Structure 1
Amino acid sequence: MEPTSGNGKQDLKRYYSGQNLNSAFTAFLDIRTSDKILVRSYYDVLLEGDEQFARIFYNYLLQAPETKKVLDTYAQTHSSIDELIRTQLDHFRHLLSADTSADYTIKLEHIGKTHHDHNIEPVWIMGGYLLYLEHLQDIVRHNRNIVDQARETLEDSITKLLFRDMGLLLEGYWNASLSQINEQKQQVSELQERINSVLGNIPHLLWSVDPSDNSLVYISPNTHHVCGHDHSMPIPCMEWTISEDRPRVEFAWQQVLAGNPVEVESRIRNKNGEIRWLRRVFHPCIDENKQVIRIDGLMEDTTDAKLAVERLHTMATTDGLTGLLNRTLFYDRLHQALTRPRRNNKHTAALLLMDLDHFKEINDTLGHPAGDLILIEAAKRMRASLRDSDSLARLGGDEFAVLIPTDADGAAIEKVADKIQACFEAPFLYEQSQLYLGVSIGVACYPENGVDADTLMSRADVAMYANKGSGTSYCYYSSEDDPNTQERLQLASELRDAIKEQQLELYYQPKIGIHSKKITGTEALIRWNHPDRGTLEPAQFLPLAERCGLIQPITEWVLGEAAQQCRRWQDKGYRIPMAINLSTRAFQNPDLIHDVRDALKRSKITPALLEIEITENELMADIDYASDVLQSLSDLGIRIAIDDFGTGYSSLAYLKQLPLDTLKIDKSFVINLTRNDNDAVIVRSIIDLAHNLGRQVVAEGIEQKDVWDMLHQLGCDDAQGYYISHPLPAIKLEAWLQSSPWQPLFN
Structure 2
Amino acid sequence: MFKSFQTRLVLFFVALFALVEAVTFLAVQNGIIKTIYAQAQDQLLTARGILERQISATTDDLAQGTSILATDFGFRQAVATADHSTIASALNNLATRIKADRIMLMSVDGIVTTDTGAAADAAARGDIVTLGKANAPFPFATMTETAERDGRSASIAVLDGRIYQLVVVPILAPVPIAWIAIGLEIGNTFAADMRRGSTVPVEVTFGFADEMGKWTLAASTLEEPLRGDLAAALSAHTPSGAPETIKMEGDDYVTVVAPIPGPQQGSKAYAILQYSLKLALAPYRTLFLQLIGIATVVILFILVSVSLVARTITKPIRRLDAAAQRIQIGQYTEKVPVQQSDEIGRLSQTFNQMMEGIAEREDKIAFQARHDMVTGLPNRVAFEVHIATLIAERAPMAQRRFSILLLQIGRFSEINNTLGHNIGDELMRKISRVLKDQVRIGTFVARHASNMFALSLATEEEAIEIAVIERILAIFGEPVDLDGVNVDVTGSIGVARYPDHGLIARTLLQHADSAMYVAKKKGITHAIYDADLDPHRPERLSMMGELRQGLEKGQFQLYFQPKVDIATGTITAAEALIRWAHPDHGFMAPDHFIPLAEQTGNIGRLTAWVLDSAVKQSRLWADKGIDVKIAVNLSARDLMNRHLPDTLGAHLADYGVRHDRLILEITESAIMEDPINALGVLNAFHTMGLTLSIDDYGTGYSSLAYLKSLPVHEIKIDKSFVTNLASNPGDEILVRSTIELGHNLGLRVTAEGIEDAAALAILDRYGCETGQGYYISKPLAVAEFETFFASSQWSPKRNAVGDWIRPSTAAAGG
TM-score (normalised: structure 1) = 0.50
SS state at 1:395 partner = strand
SS state at 2:746 partner = coil
Residue among 477, 482, 493 paired with 2:545: 493
Paired letter, 1:497: Q
Is 1:504 the counterpart of 2:556 in the alignment?
Answer: yes
Q: Provide the rounded CA distance (Å) in 2 between the counterparts of 1:737 and 1:383.
A: 62
1:318–1:711 CA distance, 2 compared to 1 (3 A): farther
Q: How does 1:117-196 map to 2 (within 5 A)?
A: none
Aligned to 1:33: none
Q: RMSD between aligned alpha carbons? A: 5.1
Q: Provide the rounded CA distance (Å) in 1 between the counterparts of 2:396 and 2:742.
A: 56
Contact 1:443/1:477 (8 A) holds in 2: no
1:712–1:375 CA distance, 2 compared to 1 (3 A): farther
Q: Provide the rounded CA distance (Å) in 1 between the counterparts of 2:704 and 2:666.
A: 17
SS state at 1:502 partner = coil
SS state at 2:648 partner = helix
Q: Provide the rounded CA distance (Å) in 2 between the counterparts of 1:386 and 1:520.
A: 55
Q: Provide the rounded CA distance (Å) in 1 between the counterparts of 2:445 and 2:624.
A: 60
Post-superposition offset of 1:604: 1.9
Residue among 390, 394, 397 paired with 1:337: 390
Is 1:636 the counterpart of 2:694 in the alignment?
Answer: no
Q: How does 1:71-470 map to 2 (within 5 A)?
A: 257=345, 259=347, 262=350, 327=380, 330-341=383-394, 346=399, 348-356=401-409, 391=444, 394-407=447-460, 415=466, 419=470, 440-447=492-499, 449-470=501-522
Residue among 689, 713, 732 paired with 1:661: 713
Deviations 1:565-623 (A, max 9, x none): 22233233332221212223333234312320222123322111112222334334443
Q: Provide the rounded CA distance (Å) in 2 between the counterparts of 1:687 and 1:372.
A: 42
Contact 1:480/1:488 (8 A) holds in 2: no
Paired letter, 2:517: Y
Deviations 1:630-686 (A, max 9, x none): 222222221222333344442555534442222234445555667888766665554
Q: Provide the rounded CA distance (Å) in 1 between the counterparts of 2:776 and 2:601.
A: 35
Is 1:732 the counterpart of 2:784 in the alignment?
Answer: yes
Q: Provide the rounded CA distance (Å) in 1 between the counterparts of 2:380 and 2:696.
A: 33
Q: Provide the rounded CA distance (Å) in 2 between the counterparts of 1:707 and 1:418.
A: 37
Aligned to 1:478: 531
Q: Provide the rounded CA distance (Å) in 2 between the counterparts of 1:324 and 1:681.
A: 46
> Identity of aligned pairs, percent?
36
SS state at 1:570 partner = helix
Larger Rg: 2
Aligned to 2:8: none
Post-superposition offset of 1:507: 1.9
Q: Provide the rounded CA distance (Å) in 2 between the counterparts of 1:616 and 1:365.
A: 21
Residue among 685, 691, 700 paired with 2:743: 691
Aligned to 2:657: 605
1:356–1:575 CA distance, 2 compared to 1 (3 A): farther
Contact 1:513/1:717 (8 A) holds in 2: yes
Aligned to 1:21: none
Contact 1:386/1:419 (8 A) holds in 2: no
Paired letter, 1:504: F
1:380–1:258 CA distance, 2 compared to 1 (3 A): closer
Paired letter, 2:658: T
Contact 1:667/1:701 (8 A) holds in 2: yes
Residue among 643, 646, 659 paired with 1:591: 643
1:603–1:449 CA distance, 2 compared to 1 (3 A): same
Post-superposition offset of 1:528: 0.6
Q: Provide the rounded CA distance (Å) in 2 between the counterparts of 1:428 and 1:382.
A: 16
Contact 1:338/1:349 (8 A) holds in 2: no
Post-superposition offset of 1:503: 0.9
Alignment length, in residue pairs?
463
Paired letter, 1:596: L
Contact 2:563/2:771 (8 A) holds in 1: yes
SS state at 2:689 partner = coil
Deviations 1:361-408 (A, max 9, x none): 677678889978987998899889976565565534443444343537
Contact 1:382/1:423 (8 A) holds in 2: no
1:280–1:471 CA distance, 2 compared to 1 (3 A): closer
Post-superposition offset of 1:316: 7.3
Aligned to 1:545: 597
1:488–1:344 CA distance, 2 compared to 1 (3 A): same
Contact 2:336/2:348 (8 A) holds in 1: no
SS state at 1:569 partner = helix
Q: How does 1:517-536 map to 2 (within 5 A)?
A: 517-536=569-588
Contact 1:644/1:666 (8 A) holds in 2: yes
Contact 1:670/1:699 (8 A) holds in 2: yes
Contact 2:615/2:651 (8 A) holds in 1: yes
Q: Provide the rounded CA distance (Å) in 2 between the counterparts of 1:516 and 1:422.
A: 47
Aligned to 2:668: 616
Q: Provide the rounded CA distance (Å) in 2 between the counterparts of 1:495 and 1:426.
A: 41
1:521–1:379 CA distance, 2 compared to 1 (3 A): farther
Unaligned runs of 5+ in 1: 1-246, 267-278, 282-301
Q: Provide the rounded CA distance (Å) in 1 between the counterparts of 2:357 and 2:541.
A: 59
Q: Provide the rounded CA distance (Å) in 2 between the counterparts of 1:509 and 1:417.
A: 44
Post-superposition offset of 1:433: 12
Post-superposition offset of 1:313: 6.3
SS state at 2:557 partner = strand
SS state at 2:749 partner = strand
1:482–1:630 CA distance, 2 compared to 1 (3 A): closer
1:565–1:377 CA distance, 2 compared to 1 (3 A): farther
Q: Provide the rounded CA distance (Å) in 2 between the counterparts of 1:250 and 1:675.
A: 91
Q: Provide the rounded CA distance (Å) in 1 between the counterparts of 2:509 and 2:619.
A: 49
Contact 1:507/1:524 (8 A) holds in 2: yes
Deviations 1:545-578 (A, max 9, x none): 2333322222111001111222233233332221
TM-score (normalised: structure 2) = 0.47
1:574–1:386 CA distance, 2 compared to 1 (3 A): farther
Contact 1:338/1:348 (8 A) holds in 2: no
Contact 1:641/1:663 (8 A) holds in 2: yes
Q: Provide the rounded CA distance (Å) in 2 between the counterparts of 1:703 and 1:377.
A: 47
Q: Provide the rounded CA distance (Å) in 1 between the counterparts of 2:710 and 2:450.
A: 30
Post-superposition offset of 1:504: 0.4
Contact 1:574/1:744 (8 A) holds in 2: no
1:669–1:364 CA distance, 2 compared to 1 (3 A): farther
Deviations 1:239-298 (A, max 9, x none): xxxxxxxx99988986765556826669xxxxxxxxxxxx999xxxxxxxxxxxxxxxxx
Q: Provide the rounded CA distance (Å) in 1 between the counterparts of 2:433 and 2:566.
A: 43
